[in-house]
Amino acid sequence: MMQFKTFLSKSPSMQTIRLIQTGIKSAPGQYEKAYINGQWSSAISGETFDVFNPANGQVVGKVPDMNTDDTLVAINSAFKAFQSWKNTTAKERSQILRRWYNLLVENQNKIAEIMTAESGKPLIESNGEVTYGNSFVEWFSELARQIRGDIIPSSFPSKKILVHHQPIGVVGLITPWNFPHAMIARKAAAALSVGCTVVIKPAEDTPLTGIELVKYAEEAGFPPGVVNIVTSSRENAPDVGRLLCENHLVAGISFTGSTTVGRILYKQCAYGIKRLGLELGGNAPFIVFKSAKLDTAVSSALVSKFRNCGQTCVAANRFLIQEDVFDDFVEKLVERVKLLKMGNGSDTGVQLGPLINQPQLDKVTNFVNDAVSKGAKIITGGRPATHLGNLFYEPTILTGITPDMIVYNEEIFGPVICLTKFKTEEEALQISNCCDVGLAGYFFSEDISQIFRVSKNMEVGMVGVNEGLISCSEAPFGGVKQSGLGREGSHLGVEDYTYVKYTCIGNLS
């Protein structure tokens, strides 16, 4: 967890300096191939698409633009590979995952630099994400050998009740651009650990990190067809997604991304009654009660809001501050926000990068303009930082938020803090819970009864109490309501990838 916190320090850590001094750079515009059935492959159509650095618009890579033809080959290969991968021992799978983890650790700097080049994340954050993503590979390499069935006492002396957990088969993993390593690792390591095979479809904006991960998976020794990655442009994504959902050889889908696309996949999986894991959007409340330690609340607000420039599904979205401490909190917050350094993520000391692409910039700009047109007051920021590049948006604080504003109702996915004053705990909870999504929620209080009461009553899948950064491989990640289905990470993270098989052995004498 600490790796993300370091981005708030006023000067770059020694680790950042060391990373920058390594001077490792991915070759600009280098052509990468996707990986299907143990072969590094171009698209059957021969098409490619460019990958851009959002900080400056430079082309940093070129990858195959694959469509359903390539995806079908990947599915067939994964299905064939499943027939033997499912019969490997837990120890064998654990050892290959561990080798993958070791290679990812050895190549941490290189992966982080690729990530910064294609996602715009400050290098120190990319480095933090690699540590975080790797931790899932390590976790599931350890968990692989701990998955046990049951023998349940039967009421009939002649019968034995056995319960096994078996891999479901081929799974399609559709992942977003905001965590190009961790979202692949969290899904793939869990699936592979129990004996499933995978077809990964990374986001158009960030395929290079995914390809890099798969290079180390190959080196670690996963047999051909067990791990496949299909890169596709935004234009081909809906068809590729549909094929993964509808092909009868695919047993399940795990998706992280927008609620809109999650709904499409849910529908497409319905006919085949596919296993489906969905990690969708949130609208996280961040409540500061009057008993809170304000400095802790302010530091946590910065971590929760500005990690990946606000482009995080667990980012604090609605800041609710009890009226008694509102002015003090705002004063401390503004002071810290004004110190944040925005720029090209590979430059020393940068804490905030650009937004990922033009639609994201337009979205954030429209949300803020909408709020201001309805009476919100800009305390700081409030516009694109055009002097830095085309996709930068100033860290922004708004007050005077009202329920008719888009920022109040929707996930902002940008560096914008919206502050609302409340009087009572009931009012704060009512505001927190009055939405259709429920991923993460945060609150700050030193009142122990309030801590238990509010964490029980917040309608979310994950609660941070006096803490703004809650994600880690050991804890179950997921939401309630329209924020999704299932849990990733933790001991529960394998459930999406296993069937429960009950065997009754009868007529025993």
Ligand X SMILES: O=C(O)CCCC(=O)O
Residue 280 in contact with ligand NDP, rule: CB under 6 A: yes
Contact with ligand X (CB under 6 A) among 256, 259, 317, 396:
256
Which of the residues 118, 279, 411, 488 is marked catalytic?
279
Q: Quick one: which of 34, 63, 203, 368 contacts ligand NDP (CB under 6 A)?
A: 203
CA 190 vs CA 47, 135, 141, 268, 356: distances in Å: 32, 12, 8, 23, 27
Q: Binders of ligand NDP among 393-422, rule CB under 6 A?
A: 411, 413
> Which one of 7, 139, 179, 255 is in contact with ligand X (CB under 6 A)?
179
Q: Is 314 in the site for ligand X (CB under 6 A)?
A: yes
Q: Which is nearer to ligand NDP, 167 or 484 (CB)?
A: 484
Which listed option, ligand NDP, ligand X, none, makes contact with residue 471 (CB within 5 to 8 Å by class)? ligand X
The residues near 23 (Cβ < 8 Å, ≥ 6 apart) are: none
Q: Where are the beta strands (DSSP E) in 193-351?
A: 197-201, 227-229, 250-256, 275-279, 284-288, 316-322
- Cβ distance to ligand X smaller for residue 247 or 300: 300
Q: Which of 3, 41, 131, 178 forms a contact with ligand NDP (CB under 6 A)?
A: 178
Question: In the complex, what is the shortest distance from the CB of residue 210 to ligand NDP, in angstroms, rounded to a whole number?
Answer: 10
In terms of CB distance, is 57 or 375 closer to ligand NDP?
57
Residue 178 CB, nearest approach to ligand X (Å): 5
Cβ contacts of 490 within 8 Å, gap of 6 or more: 473, 474, 475, 476, 477
471 lies in the binding site for ligand X (CB under 6 A): yes
Report the distance separating Cα 256 and Cα 179, nearest Å.
10
Question: Nearer Cβ to ligand NDP, position 235 or 426?
Answer: 235
**Is the CB of residue 139 less than 8 Å from the CB of residue 473?**
yes
Residue 263 as a binder of ligand NDP (CB under 6 A): the answer is no
286 binding ligand X? (CB under 6 A)? no
- Pick from ligand NDP, ligand X, none: which does 406 bind, CB < 5 to 8 A by kind? none
Q: How far is the CB of 118 from ligand NDP (least distance, A)?
A: 12
What does 172 bind: ligand NDP, ligand X, none (CB cut-off 5 to 8 Å by kind)?
A: none
Least CB distance from residue 483 to ligand X, whole Å? Answer: 11
Task: Report yes or no: 229 and 180 within 8 Å, Cβ to Cβ.
Answer: no
What is the Cβ-side half-sphere exposure of residue 104, based on CA atoms within 13 angstroms?
Answer: 31
How many binding residues for ligand NDP (CB under 6 A)? 27
Q: What are the residues whose beta carbons fall under 8 Å from the beta carbon of 209, sequence distance 6 or more?
A: 111, 114, 115, 118, 119, 180, 181, 184, 202
Binding status of residue 175 toward ligand X by CB under 6 A: no
Going from the C-alpha of 154 to that of each of 159, 162, 313, 412, 500, the distances in angstroms are 6, 10, 45, 53, 18
Whether residue 212 lies in the annotated active site: no
> Taking CB under 6 A as the rule, does residue 209 contact ligand X?
no
DSSP designation for 356: S
Report how far residue 9's alpha carbon sits from residue 351's, in angstroms, rounded to the nearest whole number: 9
Dist. CA 421–CA 401, nearest whole Å:
9
- Residue pair 193/97 in contact (Cβ under 8 Å)? The answer is yes
Contact of 76 with 191, CB cutoff 8 Å: no
- Token reading at 181: 């390593």
Residue 494 has, within 13 A of its CA and on its CB side, a CA count of: 25
What would the x/- binding string for ligand X be over residues 133 to 172, using CB under 6 A?
A: ----------------------------------------
The entry of ligand NDP, ligand X, none that residue 289 binds, CB within 5 to 8 Å by partner kind: none
Contact segment (CB under 6 A) with ligand NDP among 153-161, 173-181, 370-378, 464-472 equals 173-181
477 binds, among ligand NDP, ligand X, none (CB under 5 to 8 A by kind): ligand X
Q: How far apart are CA 40 and CA 19, in angstroms?
A: 29
Determine which residue in the list 126, 134, 178, 445 makes contact with ligand X, applying CB under 6 A: 178
Q: Does 109 bind ligand X (CB under 6 A)?
A: no
312 touches ligand X by CB under 6 A: yes
Q: Does 313 bind ligand X (CB under 6 A)?
A: yes
Contact partners, residue 18, CB within 8 Å, separation at least 6: none
Measured in degrees and rounded to the nearest 5, phi and psi for residue 380 equal -155, 155
Binding site for ligand X (CB under 6 A): 176, 178-179, 182, 256, 312-314, 471, 477
The catalytic residue positions are 279
Interface with ligand NDP by CB under 6 A: which residues?
Answer: 174-178, 201, 203-205, 232, 234, 237-238, 241, 256-258, 261, 264, 279-281, 313, 360, 363, 411, 413
